[in-house]
Structure 1
């Protein structure tokens, strides 16, 4: 009995000490511990989307963007992606929808193709992405069917992912970049 009483009193004592060291433990539930990794980056989770994918309206570019987004959104990656044709508000102004998507996204992927370079809206998108954070490490240029000499002058100081060499590797690099970018 003495042993049992001493165990009860020491556990009650520990409980009292815990209550003293945790302020207002009864009024607010304790927050679960947050893992200290890039996947739980506060900046990333404060945004509506992990990545916005900018591309031309040419069918082949839309197909490539859909493949990329499908890869990124599939389990276990489950990233939150924005594609203009799929996620923009019907009836919304294109420029407003685009600017909002860029602001609401942690990273911005540009699918740069010859058609992208010929499209005035794509040039506008690229400049909006650059204006949002030109040296922020939040721009992921993806090139396809494009020679190095065709690569936009505005992006020359960014490393790009060449999807012609290995699209699956390129998609994985986008995923890894989203998860690592603080």
Structure 2
């Protein structure tokens, strides 16, 4: 099975994300991503059994508290990913990095260059085959104001099922 570990964004951030994704995908005829509003903690990976990951995540969330993040403005990677910019508090980075340290103890979990610590926190708006429309999309989203206070308040495991990502388990930070 294929999994990804994320923090699901909720409330007004989720509502805004759904609206901007729908607007951009409709206006520019680009594909929707198959994930809800989130920031990635561990990129997709294959595993037959994730009981160890579930136990580790549950115990971690029971020992750690939610921390503030700010979602403000847009950014992009090259000309093929447009995202809502996330500014984690120092506390949020600390919780994230401690969780990465725990995940690294799982010998079966594979890591790539974009996994782990020192990442750019972001919430993708569009990323599939947008190169030809990038400048138009970038100009369009740049007209939107976004400035939200939110929280890194959950660690969620999503599973790839029925051609989309579904929430498998969600663990709330205290």
Same fold (TM over 0.5): no
Q: Point out which structure has higher relative CO (alpha carbons under 8 A, 6+ apart).
A: 2
Larger-Rg structure: 1
* Bigger helix fraction: 1
* Bigger strand fraction: 2
